[in-house]
Amino acid sequence: MKISKPTILVIVGISGDLSKRKLLPATDEIFRAGELPEKFKVIGVTRRDIAMQGVELYKMDLEILEEYKKLARHLDSVEKDWGTPAQRLFYLSVPPQVSQSIVRQLGQSGLAKVPDTKLLLEKPFGFDLQSAKDLIDDINKYFTEEQVYRIDHYLAKEMTQNLIIFRQSNSLFKRTWNKDFIERIEIVASEQIGIEGRATFYEQTGALRDLVQSHLLQLAALTLMKIPPSVSNGVVDSNGGADNSWWKNIPDERLRALEQLHLLSEEKIIDCVKRGQYKNYREEVKNPQSTVETFVSLQLESGSPDWQGVPITLTTGKALDKKMTEIRIFYKKAEHHESNQLTLRIQPKEGIEICLWTKKPGYDRTLEKHPLNFSYEDHYASLPEAYERVLVDAMHSDHSLFTSSGEVLRSWEIIAPIQEFWKKGGGSDLTFY
Ligand code: BG6
């Protein structure tokens, strides 16, 4: 559905890697798809002189309040030229230490209060429960929750959205999506890359904060949440448009799922959490004592009556043999029946696979396991990038694929016992790979 509102997208941190690799290509794609409003402008805020196509560069010092007031006047003049007010999206593509002060100055300069102003933020949202609370309180002083769009790009991946639709629309799986039929769940995100030169960031972060607190807990929430009831199938309404009212319930359901999720044993962390570090990590970050984990695997369970007793394992690591994110659902083995495994491939080769038991051809009556496979690539030339969805949804004021402050806080709460344990432990449980 084409965006109709005139829109100014202000990217703060336009010279950064994310803008070049994801945001600007995403706006190009949305334009090519014919979805951008007629009146649309990208303003790239920067301190440096850089050349960039299709973007109006706006040089300013982000530490000076007066400069924000000048920016406000500039945005007013764009709207005046257009002869209409526009929605303004401030996309902060900057390190977390900087974003807090920018938020404050957007507030103090009056920019936050201009009608139809939105704030798009990248993770990390804090580094533990307390810092996340402080950050949220700080933002709440200037912006309402409705104005804030916290990005978790995993939620916007095509296959992640399909997980919701798959659960909603296939009665075979819908009816068996619970502890009576499912034995355990594994969510794995393995990466081949290391820390890619981000030594300072990674030394303060580690795999638990970087991937588990955000992406993996969100995937777990989507796997475990109750699917909101709906009269339609949740994809299109009777007018052929997106059924947004149904999607609007998704963040609340994710939050409820997170509220019920906890570590398998908060007392014996050592039994349910394993961590590791890849071999030349310490040299890479120039810290021979570093105990920062580049791999972590943890076991959780849900207190929901639908899921009691089903172990949920989250695993992620860098410098592993391949790049792959999957949700694996292991069905129970019943008497005289084999178990089945359903795999939702988030990336790469996005798709769904279920293993079936069949008779091996021949005179013997032996069983064989074969996959039944759906791959998007067999049907579509390409899939939209997550950042296209992020921008389109923010322009449509659709929060369903963004993380609420409640979800952020609950995710930190879930991993807090691990952070505490590691702080005290001194790293003796760290293994090297
Ligand atoms: C980011 C993490 O959020 O996600 C990175 O900070 C990680 O460390 C990246 O590499 C993975 O994203 P994707 O989409 O490539 O799986």
d(CA 235, CA 249): 13
Non-local (6+) Cβ contacts of 334 within 8 A are none
Q: Does 191 contact ligand 1 (Cβ within 6 A)?
A: yes
Q: Could you tell me the end-to-end alpha-carbon distance of the chain, in angstroms, rounded to an integer?
A: 48
pLDDT at position 368: 92
Ligand 1, residues 153, 208, 214, 285: which to mutate, most atoms within 8 A of Cβ? 153
Q: Does 122 contact ligand 1 (Cβ within 6 A)?
A: no
Residue in the block written with tokens 């760290």? 430
Q: What is the largest CA-CA distance in the chain?
A: 84
Sequential pLDDT tens for the chain (433 residues): 788 899 999 999 998 889 999 999 999 999 999 999 999 999 999 988 887 877 999 999 999 999 999 999 999 999 999 999 999 999 999 888 888 999 999 999 999 999 999 999 999 899 999 999 999 999 999 999 999 999 999 999 999 999 999 999 999 999 999 999 999 999 999 999 999 999 998 999 999 999 999 999 999 999 999 998 875 555 554 444 456 788 889 999 999 999 999 999 888 898 999 999 999 999 999 999 999 999 999 999 999 999 999 999 999 999 999 999 999 999 999 877 789 999 999 999 999 999 999 999 999 989 999 999 999 999 999 999 999 999 999 999 999 999 999 999 999 999 999 999 999 877 789 999 9
Beta strands in 341-387 (DSSP E): 341-347, 351-359, 367-375
d(CA 5, CA 88): 10
Return the amino acid letter for 117: T
118 CA to centre of ligand 1 in angstroms: 24
Helix%, strand%, coil% for the chain, nearest 5: 40, 25, 40
Taking alpha carbons only, the member of 391, 393, 293, 383 closest to residue 346 is: 383
d(CA 80, CA 76): 6
213 CA to centre of ligand 1 in angstroms: 12
208 CA to centre of ligand 1 in angstroms: 13
Q: Does 210 contact ligand 1 (Cβ within 6 A)?
A: yes
pLDDT at position 231: 55
Atom of ligand 1 nearest to the CA of 189: 16
Ligand 1, residues 215, 346, 383: which to mutate, most atoms within 8 A of Cβ? 215
Q: How far is CA 160 from CA 33, 354, 407, in A?
A: 21, 17, 17
Taking alpha carbons only, the member of 217, 221, 211, 265 closest to residue 421 is: 265
Residue whose CA lies nearest to ligand 1 atom number 5: 210
Q: Does 301 contact ligand 1 (Cβ within 6 A)?
A: no
Residue pair 417/223 in contact by the 8 Å Cβ criterion: no
Half-sphere exposure of 139 (CA within 13 A, CB side): 25
319 CA to centre of ligand 1 in angstroms: 13
Residue whose CA lies nearest to ligand 1 atom number 13: 154
- The residues carrying an active-site annotation are 215
Atom of ligand 1 nearest to the CA of 325: 16
pLDDT in tens, 157-202: 999 999 999 999 999 999 999 999 999 999 999 999 999 999 998 9
What element of type H or E holds 44? strand 40-46
Ligand 1, residues 205, 210, 216: which to mutate, most atoms within 8 A of Cβ? 210
Atom of ligand 1 nearest to the CA of 153: 14
Q: Does 158 contact ligand 1 (Cβ within 6 A)?
A: no
d(CA 395, CA 36): 9
Atom of ligand 1 nearest to the CA of 386: 14
pTM: 0.94
d(CA 429, CA 181): 35
Residue pair 159/350 in contact by the 8 Å Cβ criterion: yes
Residue in the block written with tokens 């703060």? 12
pLDDT at position 219: 98
pLDDT at position 238: 43
382 CA to centre of ligand 1 in angstroms: 20
What element of type H or E holds 167? helix 158-169
Non-local (6+) Cβ contacts of 430 within 8 A are 275, 276, 277, 291, 293
Ligand 1, residues 154, 217, 218, 296: which to mutate, most atoms within 8 A of Cβ? 154
The secondary structure of 93-145, three-state, reads CCCHHHHHHHHHHHHHCCHHHCCCEEEEEECCCCCCHHHHHHHHHHHHCCCCH
What element of type H or E holds 330? strand 324-331
